[in-house]
Structure 1
């Protein structure tokens, strides 16, 4: 249930963040497609398939909870033995979906619409020129490392001050539940 809500919430947030009714002229469309190619945005679809596949186990758990199914030890062993096949099946569903011509076409249109809503054709050409330059290529290559470093340091700092507060809140809430 949580995974389904999280997936739905993520999709809703993504859809709400998209500019509505953006329209690209031919120059913007061409520049947006070129920038998307430079940024390797086509790699997003296989990544989305992989991320979607991660929902396989939570969806199965949601099914059991929703239908109030309690597995016996034998059924749990059987489920464990079949998990790889189940996961592979879900992965194939996701890969087939995100690899379909219709989704690829929709993705390309979404990329063009979103870039064109934010940038003129000239700006898109300038951005693309930067990303094709040596510093731009370096930025593309190092961006995940940089973002992960920033996130890691920020979380490390949060762990010192936020984690104790979260633990205290969990303890307080846990005590209210335990009183019943």
Structure 2
């Protein structure tokens, strides 16, 4: 009853790996390591919301932007560069949204990354931008008068602030008494 031992070779090792985990033998990584789970979904939703809200606001207020640039000290040819850059931003945003939508629709759940959260934030921004002003002010007035007044001032471009507000008695203090 003698046993002979033989040293394992690299091919023996590779064949054993192929038996134990065929995915690792084929791709060189674990199946779990390939999934792209989002660690902070709320952050990506807020980023998507802010990104699309900014781009849509820029796109809708082109005349206001041109007027603002004309009042500034930029030369005429630089204004064209600024507007061309903003147009490129809108174009890149449209392409990126299409890519995120394709990634969301065509990949499996664990491999979508933050695309779903970015699209959810973008959808929220589009809903907010396209909502009628009466609906927003009416809902805010239902929550409280101060919020409604704030939204009315924010949405109404002809609104002028109250001139009787006196800010001369305001003192900035800290909790340390300084």
Q: Same fold (TM over 0.5)?
A: no
Larger RCO (alpha carbons 8 Å, 6+ apart) = 1
Higher helix share: 1
So what's the TM-score if we normalise by structure 2? 0.28
So what's the TM-score if we normalise by structure 1? 0.28
When Rg is computed on C-alpha atoms for both structures, the one with the higher figure is 2
